[in-house]
Chains A and B, each alone.
Chain A
Amino acid sequence: MIGVSTLGSALPASQDHDVLGVGAQRRRTVSWLLALTVGLAMTGVFAVGTGAIAISPLTVARILGHQLFGVGEVSWTPPQEAIVWQVRLPRVLLGMLVGAGLATCGVALQAMVRNVLADPYLLGINSGASSGAAAAILFGAGAGFGQYALSTSAFVGALAASLLVFLIARSGGRVTSIRLLLAGVAVGYALYAATSFLIFASGSAEGSRSVMFWLLGSLGLARWDALLAVAAVVIGGTICYLTVTGRRLDVLAVGDETAHTLGVSPDRYRMRLLVVVSLCVGVLVSAAGSIGFVGLVVPHLARRIVGAPHVRVVPAAALLGAILLVWADVIARVLLAPQEIPIGIITSLLGAPFLLILIRRLHAANA
């Protein structure tokens, strides 16, 4: 029943101080984030220990403790230390970064275009990166960058694709979600064709195979180098930015008109998001190829456990994405060992049924 008293008066003071249950929800979120952080740490230790040469989690923990903090007696062999520190740890770290980056960019894009099927590759950035990578692998583009030739060339491709999408989407002065969607799809197809053309034109079977491998994603390039550092900074920055501006993502996800009436300029914010997300996706595709489904599925999973507000969804999705990708990489390494399977195959195999289950649940909940 509606009263006619003025706003701000007359509602019996609630007995518990947690009106609307916001406090309980916050505590639940913090518990989840803590649990996921612990899960991520355990995943990391396990993943570093798993491979052709198995190393016990205890030994892994000791080596890490020794390397990071200089504590503990040396009770392991030098090859074990080299495997843990030089080979597997950078790979696991890159996996965590890429998984977290894909998941958060997926969250941002789903809010930006208000479509639950949006994923980080919607903007055609991965197609641009693929063209760049193909040019590097098949025709030696970017050879001047030495060990970074492949990732640099891929990044240039990603940058070119996102600029193109940005310019097309912006024609007319505003970036609307539908124009963004169409521009991304169009540019994506064009560059996919360009990659196929490059593969065809090179006539090198071996080259085509390595391009294909790269297209399906791999963490094989991971080592302690500038690329890992750049990925850490960019992906970390993206997660922070999206978490901090979470409330704006919430209103943008409701609608442009709503965003406007709640004090958020939808065009300006979408433009900023586009820049941040493009940069992040560009970096992670350059580092690990196009790994599908993580950016599509993880946001849904995160929303299921912590609810819809983006302040909670972004960090939860980042942690979940990181865990998921590291496990996918473990499977990719051991399933047909010693041969390594492209990680994108694993994420798609795991992700597709998962998405179907989520969609079924979603419909059941709304019915």
Chain B
Amino acid sequence: MIEASGVSWRYGANPVIDGVDVTARPGRVLGLIGPNGSGKTTLLRLLYAALRSPTGRVTVDGDELSALTPREAARRMAVVVQETGAETALTVAEMVLLGRGPHLSTFQRTRRTDHEIAARCLARVGATHLGARAFAGLSGGERQRVLIARALAQEATHLLLDEPTNHLDIRYQHEILRLVRGLGTCAVVVLHDLNLAARYCDDLVLLGRGGVVAAGPVGRVLDPAVLEPVYGIGIRRLDIEGDLHLLFHPIPAEGEAAA
């Protein structure tokens, strides 16, 4: 469980996140949604202490995050960030093995169990065949899957992902999120696509200017009346056989409608 209470962040004089509370519950997938610039990534970075909030606190399973060493934190939280490290000369297998680092002491080499875990994680994202390839030579989608394999190799109890479906084609968008859901760990996912959020998240936090506009179970947050003012687009919601789908249509500007 990750709990943030009253966290804030500002870039210069601009508060991006201002006194926000978020709770990611065990075994559930929490989605962070909101338009561009609403602070989704900033909030996620506060949750894994890449940014240290000057106010409030973040706890992981009840322990203050700022009191954990970086290694301890990395054993509890695996994070898939947007930074891909595309210039690295490492192979895919070596990249995934880096995920075992938090479990090894400085003098320890990777053990056979580490290699087996890394191989298993590569298999789980359908990338076993890429193992010997240079990471830098992969396509965007392949890279993303390898980074997710690395996060899985950390065997952490929490998984945080910053727009994991970026660069992925439609099949892998669904496969990756289905995988995250199937893990049964506490996950926090920044998502742009609201229909993906509807399908794969349990809870959502909708961010608007400066803070949380709505938070709660998916069905409650994905309400056109809530979403339309935040995104500035017309939304129709269809509930088909228990699944929730959103359709979008531009709202004509005033004056345009009359023409």
Binding site for B on A (CB under 8 A): 1-8, 11, 14, 17-22, 114, 116, 244-245, 247, 250-251, 253-258, 260-265, 303, 307-309, 311, 365-366
Contact of B134 with A by CB under 8 A: yes
Q: Please state if A2 and B175 are interface contacts (CB–CB under 8 Å).
A: yes
A8, A116, A247: most-surrounded residue (chain B CB, <10 A): A247
B87-121 contacts to A (CB < 8 Å): 87-91, 93-95, 97-99, 101-102, 104, 106-107, 109-110, 112, 115-121
Hey, which chain A residues are within 8 Å of B119, CB to CB? 11, 14, 19-20
Q: Please state if B110 and A258 are interface contacts (CB–CB under 8 Å).
A: no
Question: Within the assembled complex, what's the spacing in Å between the Cα atoms of A261 and B115?
Answer: 20
Answer whether A366 and B137 are a contact pair too, CB < 8 Å, given A2-B175, A262-B101.
yes
Answer whether A22 and B115 are a contact pair too, CB < 8 Å, given A4-B179, A250-B98.
yes
Contact of B234 with A by CB under 8 A: no
B49 to chain A, nearest CB (A): 8
Per-position 1/0 for B160-179, Cβ under 8 A of A: 00000000000000011011
A244, A250, A263, A308: most-surrounded residue (chain B CB, <10 A): A263
Contact of B235 with A by CB under 8 A: no
Answer whether A263 and B116 are a contact pair too, CB < 8 Å, given A7-B121, A20-B131, A254-B85.
no
Question: Within the assembled complex, what's the spacing in Å between the Cα atoms of A254 and B121?
Answer: 20
Question: Within the assembled complex, what's the spacing in Å between the Cα atoms of A307 and B95?
Answer: 12
**Pick from A244, A245, A247, A262: contact of B74, CB under 8 Å:** A262
Hey, which chain B residues are within 8 Å of A308, CB to CB? 88-91, 94
**Pick from A8, A20, A116, A257: contact of B115, CB under 8 Å:** A20
Pairs A–B under 8 Å by Cβ, sample size 15: A4-B179, A8-B120, A11-B123, A19-B119, A20-B93, A254-B83, A254-B88, A255-B84, A262-B74, A262-B99, A262-B101, A263-B71, A308-B89, A311-B109, A366-B136
Answer whether A261 and B155 are a contact pair too, CB < 8 Å, given A17-B112, A20-B131.
no
A261 to chain B, nearest CB (A): 4
B40 to chain A, nearest CB (A): 15
Hey, which chain A residues are within 8 Å of B124, CB to CB? 2-3, 7
Hey, which chain A residues are within 8 Å of B109, CB to CB? 311
Hey, which chain B residues are within 8 Å of A8, CB to CB? 117, 120, 155
Q: Please state if B93 and A4 are interface contacts (CB–CB under 8 Å).
A: no
Question: Within the assembled complex, what's the spacing in Å between the Cα atoms of A354 and B102?
Answer: 38
Hey, which chain B residues are within 8 Å of A245, CB to CB? 106
Question: Within the assembled complex, what's the spacing in Å between the Cα atoms of A287 and B97?
Answer: 40
Hey, which chain B residues are within 8 Å of A19, CB to CB? 112, 115-116, 118-119
Residue of A nearest to B184 (CB): A6
Q: Please state if B98 and A247 are interface contacts (CB–CB under 8 Å).
A: yes
Hey, which chain B residues are within 8 Å of A22, CB to CB? 93, 97, 110, 115
Q: Please state if B91 and A261 are interface contacts (CB–CB under 8 Å).
A: no
**Pick from A244, A258, A264, A309: contact of B94, CB under 8 Å:** A309
Hey, which chain A residues are within 8 Å of B101, CB to CB? 247, 251, 262-264
Hey, which chain B residues are within 8 Å of A255, CB to CB? 81, 83-85
Hey, which chain A residues are within 8 Å of B154, CB to CB? 262
Q: Please state if B88 and A257 are interface contacts (CB–CB under 8 Å).
A: no
The 9 A-B pairs at the shortest CB distance, nearest first, are namely: A263-B74, A254-B85, A4-B182, A308-B89, A263-B71, A261-B79, A263-B102, A20-B93, A255-B83
Answer whether A261 and B81 are a contact pair too, CB < 8 Å, given A2-B125, A8-B120, A20-B97.
yes
Q: Please state if A260 and B50 are interface contacts (CB–CB under 8 Å).
A: yes
B85, B97, B110, B154: most-surrounded residue (chain A CB, <10 A): B85
Question: Within the assembled complex, what's the spacing in Å between the Cα atoms of A114 and B85?
Answer: 9
Hey, which chain A residues are within 8 Å of B182, CB to CB? 4-6
Residue of A nearest to B95 (CB): A254
Question: Within the assembled complex, what's the spacing in Å between the Cα atoms of A282 and B134?
Answer: 35
Q: Please state if B81 and A307 are interface contacts (CB–CB under 8 Å).
A: no
Residue of B nearest to A308 (CB): B89
Contact of B37 with A by CB under 8 A: no
A14 to chain B, nearest CB (A): 7
Contact of B35 with A by CB under 8 A: no
Q: Please state if A6 and B183 are interface contacts (CB–CB under 8 Å).
A: yes
Per-position 1/0 for B72-87, Cβ under 8 A of A: 1111011101111101
B142 to chain A, nearest CB (A): 14
Hey, which chain A residues are within 8 Å of B72, CB to CB? 263
Residue of B nearest to A18 (CB): B115
Contact of B15 with A by CB under 8 A: no
**Pick from B70, B79, B132: contact of A21, CB under 8 Å:** B132
Hey, which chain B residues are within 8 Å of A311, CB to CB? 109
B226 to chain A, nearest CB (A): 31
B170-220 contacts to A (CB < 8 Å): 175-176, 178-179, 182-184
